[in-house]
Amino acid sequence: MVETPSDPLCMAVLQRALLTGHRCFVPQSAFSQAQATLSAEWSELTNRIASSDYAPKGAVVISSKPPNEEIADALQGRFCQIIIGEAEGTSVTNRHTVVVVSDLLPPYGEDLEMFRRWLNEGAPHQEHPENRAAAHWCGMNDVASALTAALPYLNDHAHRFDVCGRRRWSMEATKSEFCLLATRALAGRSGEFTAEMLQPQPPPLDVETLDGTDPSTRPPIETFHRFLKEHTGEGWRPTTPVRQLLMLVVAQLTS
């Protein structure tokens, strides 16, 4: 059951769950909007969801909001709260499963506004673009697919999963790559290309693969990886290149 289908990641999980044959429910108040959102891309899925204000027996509930005490006691680990960004200030207990997703692309919230500022600024500046030094970008489709794979194995035991990309991107490299892609996209609309724009660009040199020896710079994704590996045979292995994810962000902001 997806309690908050208005949340983009929760909706992505709902789509993946329907595509993989799960029986899915949404609250009555959100049923019409969920059907409309699904019909925009997956019209054949609209007849596969049902409305219910109560979780069926044995169901997993996915929500961007924390559960109330009654639901937390009834479902325990089968209530899965998805948090985008920092979990500070959020009540994370052992009564329900919490998934903390960092550095999600396409973004929403503060990260979306960051990319919007970069787009409006144009060419990247040399000074540090944001307060944080780096990010570990991951794609919404990859996260949704992994969460959908994990859902059947959530039980009465609560979990805490941290999810982000495996590779470290400095904010300077992220902004440089994003601005290059945005410039090309806008030039494609106007036809005003320059020779510099059309030159092939290698990936930023300061993208580095982390081997787990420096956990202070990356959220602890090992728990989620082990859980998936144990139950599905495949760990957390995001496959969408960051350059492709940044192209989606450009499309989102310029459409």
Average pLDDT over residues 143-171: 92
pLDDT tens-digit series, residues 97-118: 999 999 999 998 889 999 999 9
pLDDT tens-digit series, residues 36-85: 888 877 777 888 899 988 888 888 999 999 888 888 788 878 899 999 98
131 is a domain residue: yes
DSSP string of the chain?
-BS-TTSHHHHHHHHHHHHTT--EEE-HHHHHHHHHHHHHH-GGGGGGEEE-SSPPTT--EEESSPPPHHHHHHHGGGEEEEEES--TTS---TTSEEEEE-SEES--THHHHHHHHHHHH-SPPSS--SSSSEE--EEHHHHHHHHHHHGGG--SS--EEEE--SEEEEHHHHHHHHHHHHHHHHHHHHT---HHHHS--PPPTT-EE--SS-GGGS--THHHHHHHHHHHS------S-HHHHHHHHHHHHH-
User: 4-8, 42-46, 64-68, 135-139: which has the minimum mean pLDDT?
Assistant: 42-46
Q: What is the pTM of this model?
A: 0.85
Least Cα distance to 81 among 188, 166, 21, 159 occurs for: 159
Average pLDDT over residues 180-192: 75
117 is a domain residue: yes
179 is a domain residue: yes
30 is a domain residue: no
Task: Supply the mean pLDDT for the chain.
Answer: 83
Of the pLDDT bands very low, low, confident and very high (cuts 50, 70, 90), residue 127 is: very low
39 is a domain residue: no
* pLDDT attached to residue 123: 52
50 is a domain residue: no
Chain-centroid distance of CA 245 in Å reads 11
pLDDT tens-digit series, residues 13-25: 999 999 998 889 9
Of the pLDDT bands very low, low, confident and very high (cuts 50, 70, 90), residue 96 is: confident
pLDDT tens-digit series, residues 224-235: 999 999 999 999
Q: What percent of the chain has pLDDT over 70?
A: 82
94 is a domain residue: yes
* pLDDT attached to residue 68: 83
49 is a domain residue: no
Q: Show the domain range for 67.
A: 60-254
How many folded domains does the chain comprise?
Answer: 1
Evaluate if residue 177 carries a pLDDT over 80: yes
